[in-house]
């Protein structure tokens, strides 16, 4: 039986799912994710958040554009009815920055995996914080290169056994949130792929942030690196944080290795005082002031 408290959560979610705008954001493409993959929840969350912005009249569907990397997560490209580019592996971030240079008025969302952005694409990851373009990175971290059948990524835990490292991973994982903070990130958040309500709130805050917003989604892969799954008990929600010293402490709480300890979720750091790429470059500033978009006015 569903209790009253659960009903208050489920009712608005069902209403959103029935929304015509959410339906319009879907496609007819056959979905090939494994049944139960957390990518389904992330897809639903993105649709709900984008639909809410559209229904509130804040943005139109054509104001959004996406880039995706290559991987299981990247199939979201086929299931979201938004314009965009399905990029080369590791290159979803620079392609998105290119979109912003072409049309700074677009709301650009980028989807990348831990394999993609923390490995082959890591230089783009670091420089994106430095440039601070006004866009959002959704980072699907399942601690595994899953599409290519489960090789270790930079965030895989020590000892992870795979066909490519049959003796287990020797090295400690990197901490991408620490790296982001050290690279002058202006928005760092982390969410749990099992908690769509919280994910919706944080995605909306990330999209509203002026600058480069990075949301790491902690998600299980049901097939590969099973030892890294089920971290829910370690996760706890934090208040939105704008204090740098506290952020330095928070990003160090989870080392991507241990099965114990705490994993803070929520807005770990936000700073809107640093100008975005669009505010720094006069050419982009001018395009923004003119309100140049895909429709109506020429670039």
226 in contact with ligand SF4 (CB under 6 A)? no
- Binding partner selected for residue 223 from ligand SF4, ligand TPP, none, CB under the kind-specific 5 to 8 Å limit: ligand SF4
Residues composing the chain: 299
Residue with tokens 């029935």: 18
| Sign of the dihedral defined by the CA atoms of residues 170, 114, 206, 24, in that order | negative
Closest to ligand SF4 by CB, 114 or 278:
114
The footprint of ligand TPP on residues 147-166 (CB under 6 A) is 147-148, 153
Exposed/middle/buried for residue 35 (C-beta within 10 Å: 0-12, 13-18, 19+): exposed
Closest separation in Å from C-beta 242 to ligand TPP:
30
Q: Considering only 53-61, 122-130, 172-180, 217-225, which stretch makes contact with ligand SF4 by CB under 6 A?
A: 217-225
Q: Cβ atoms within 10 A of the Cβ of 42, count?
A: 23
Closest separation in Å from C-beta 50 to ligand TPP:
21
Q: Cβ atoms within 10 A of the Cβ of 120, count?
A: 15
- Binding partner selected for residue 274 from ligand TPP, ligand SF4, none, CB under the kind-specific 5 to 8 Å limit: none
Q: Considering only 13-21, 111-119, 232-240, 244-252, which stretch makes contact with ligand TPP by CB under 6 A?
A: 111-119
Closest to ligand SF4 by CB, 223 or 292:
223
Q: Which CA distances in Å does 56 have to 50, 52, 263, 295?
A: 10, 6, 33, 20
Phi, psi at 114, each rounded to 5°: -65, -35
Per CB under 6 A, residues contacting ligand TPP are 69-73, 88-89, 113-116, 120, 140, 142, 144-148, 153
């Amino acid at each position: 039986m569903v209790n009253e408290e659960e009903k208050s959560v489920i009712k608005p979610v069902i209403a959103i799912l029935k929304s015509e705008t959410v339906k319009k954001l879907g496609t007819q493409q056959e979905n090939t994710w494994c049944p139960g993959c957390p990518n389904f929840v992330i897809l639903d969350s993105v649709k709900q958040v984008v639909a809410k912005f559209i229904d509130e009249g804040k943005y139109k569907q054509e104001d959004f554009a996406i880039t995706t990397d290559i991987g299981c997560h990247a199939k979201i490209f086929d299931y979201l009815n938004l314009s965009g580019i399905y990029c080369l592996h590791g290159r979803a971030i620079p392609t998105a920055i290119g979109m912003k240079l072409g049309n700074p008025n677009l709301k650009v969302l980028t989807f990348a995996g831990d394999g993609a952005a923390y490995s082959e694409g890591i230089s783009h990851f670091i420089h994106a914080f430095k440039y601070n373009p006004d866009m959002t990175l959704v980072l699907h971290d399942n601690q595994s290169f899953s599409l290519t059948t489960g090789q270790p990524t930079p965030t895989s835990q020590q000892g992870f056994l795979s066909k490519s490292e049959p003796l287990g991973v020797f090295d400690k994982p990197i901490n991408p949130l620490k790296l982001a903070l050290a690279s002058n990130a202006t928005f760092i958040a982390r969410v749990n792929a099992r908690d769509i309500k919280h994910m919706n709130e944080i995605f909306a805050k990330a999209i509203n942030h002026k600058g480069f917003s990075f949301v790491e989604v902690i998600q299980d892969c049901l097939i590969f690196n099973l030892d890294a799954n089920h971290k829910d008990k370690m996760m706890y929600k934090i208040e939105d944080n704008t204090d740098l010293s506290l952020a330095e402490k928070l990003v160090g709480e989870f080392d991507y290795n241990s099965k114990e300890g705490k994993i803070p979720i929520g807005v770990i750091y936000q700073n809107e005082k640093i100008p975005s790429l669009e505010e720094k470059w006069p050419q982009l500033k001018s395009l923004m002031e003119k309100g140049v978009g895909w429709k109506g006015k020429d670039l």
